[in-house]
Amino acid sequence: MSKQDRVIIFDTTLRDGEQCPGASLNPQQKLEVARQLERLNVDAIEAGFAVSSPGDFEGVNRIAKEIKGRIIASLARSVPKDIEAAGKALKPAKRRRIHTFVATSEIHMKYKLRKAEEEILRIAVAAVKMARKYTDDVEFSAEDAARSRPELLYRIYEAVIDAGATTVNVPDTVGWAIPSQFGALIRGIRENVPNIHKAVISVHCHNELGLSTANSLAAVLNGARQVECTINGMGERAGNASLEEVVMALKVRKDLFKVEMGIKTEEIYRASRLVSKLTGFLVQPNKAVVGGNAFAHESGIHQHGVLMFKKTYEIMTPQEVGWGESKLVLGKHSGRHAFIARLKGLGFKLGDQQIEEAFERFKVLADLKKEVFDDDLTALVEDEISQERKRYSLEYLHVASGTGVIPTATIRLKSPDGKMLQGAASGDGPVDACYNAIDKLTGFKGKLNDYVIQSVTSGKDALGEVTVKLSAKGQVEHGRAASTDIIEASGKAYLNAINRLLYAKR
């Protein structure tokens, strides 16, 4: 595979990513991320901005000492003290790169630098020449290149390559470009810089308009062979091009891009979670590739398709990026196929009628909860199985309770012969009132030996499971039921135990 067919992945999580407000990492944390980037097999790690602080210098220096086999880079403005600090911090690295930059857009030159084009050109060339004293690998960036005059870029890139730059970077520093424009800029550089064949064209895109990944990919299509990106798309303001998105786009659409990479994609998810943990920046659920819902399916149509053939709705496998299996989320949009598949996975073998009845109850529960978890499903199905022996079923329940109010429960039951029985009773609390009403309607005379309630799952909409133990005439039986309404679960569990006692007696 020729050099022109391979894309270099330059990770700047530890430099630009860390510049995200609130995301600062100490040197040890930086080293931990760098080790994971090494496992991910990125080509280059921009370890920091050595001159910016003693901590950043130490971080760059420790990574340069300990991470082997990767290019270790440090950013430096085009001023001597920055370049000197970068050179010293990177000295232990076997493969080191100084990444120097100066702004080239009219707005930056006029209002920030207050310098003319010719002076900017001289500064850029001098910075590259100085950086070459510390390393043969020098990258030059024309800050805000996307808003710079193309003819100036052509001149500067030609001059810095002649001065020794081996990589020329084209940053969309403020996320201003759109893919067609940015792709054309890269093509223009290839066609108008005479010595461009002596350097790698790199891109560094920001995400103000949500186009950083798209712009990076447009650049690759037009000849860029290094992409600068960050884990989880972290970075200044709206962030940088996301490494996981760029890498998987190049891999999944290899038919279009026709390039190779060295990334071990199975380490992507682990890298994402590590950076999220250390910075405290949570990954949004719908984030491409690494978000919690990236491989989750709730729609019945989608679930059926995935169960039949995964590629119907998955253009990459979760295993490719380090996830486990695809996730079939059971919710109100789920269908029978996913429901039955999950039951089989949990070890339940139900008859057709049991499945239909359990599915109907699942749909009712799914309307009450955003997601039905395995524990919810287990409780629901076991409750359904127990109903085979029922002699009484709960048809209606209303409880009045509160401070200064006598708790009262009104119950309607369906008897074994199909008759409706209704009555009310009071008690020390809503559960006691409910049980007194059931005793009154069923004629049960026994003892409640134990009552346990626990949350099956987490959250305010958690399914509550109630387990009771009743005894009557020397016979002891358990009853269990689950519901998002704990009074309803209490009543059903009590009835289940009564029905078991009656079944045993019969």
Q: Among the residues of 16-105, which ranges form H helices?
A: 27-40, 54-66, 80-90
Q: How many CB atoms lie within 10 A of CB 436?
A: 20
Rounded (10°) CA dihedral 381, 382, 388, 394: -80
Asked if the domains 3-279 and 390-505 are classified in one and the same CATH topology, the answer is no
The residue-averaged pLDDT of 39-58 equals 96
Give the mean model confidence (pLDDT) for residues 284-300: 70
The average pLDDT across 22-35 equals: 89
Q: How confident is the model over 234-243, as pLDDT tens digits?
A: 998 999 999 9
> Which pLDDT score, from 0 to 100, does residue 154 have?
98
CA atoms of 304 and 297, how far apart (whole Å): 10
396-443: per-residue pLDDT in tens?
999 999 988 999 999 999 887 788 999 999 999 999 999 999 999 999
What's the full length of the chain, in residues? 506
Q: Is the pLDDT of residue 269 over 80?
A: yes
> For residue 88, is pLDDT > 90?
yes
Q: Which of 63-67, 145-149, 183-187, 342-346 has the lowest mean pLDDT?
A: 342-346
pLDDT per residue over 103-122, tens digit each? 999 999 999 999 999 999 99
Q: List, for residues 363-387, the tens digit of each pLDDT value.
A: 776 776 666 665 566 666 656 555 5
CATH architecture of 390-505: 2-Layer Sandwich (3.30)
What's the CA gap between 17 and 239, in Å, rounded? 7
Nearest CA to 465 among 477, 479, 449? Answer: 479
pLDDT at 297: 47
Note the CATH number of domain 3-279: 3.20.20.70
Domain ranges of the chain: 3-279, 296-385, 390-505
Contact yes or no for 174/181 (Cβ under 8 A): no
DSSP bridge partners of 500? none
- The SS3 of residue 326 is coil
Q: Which of 132-136, 282-286, 364-368 has the lowest mean pLDDT?
A: 364-368
Q: Of the given ranges (72-76, 228-232, 380-384, 445-449), which has the lowest mean pLDDT?
A: 380-384
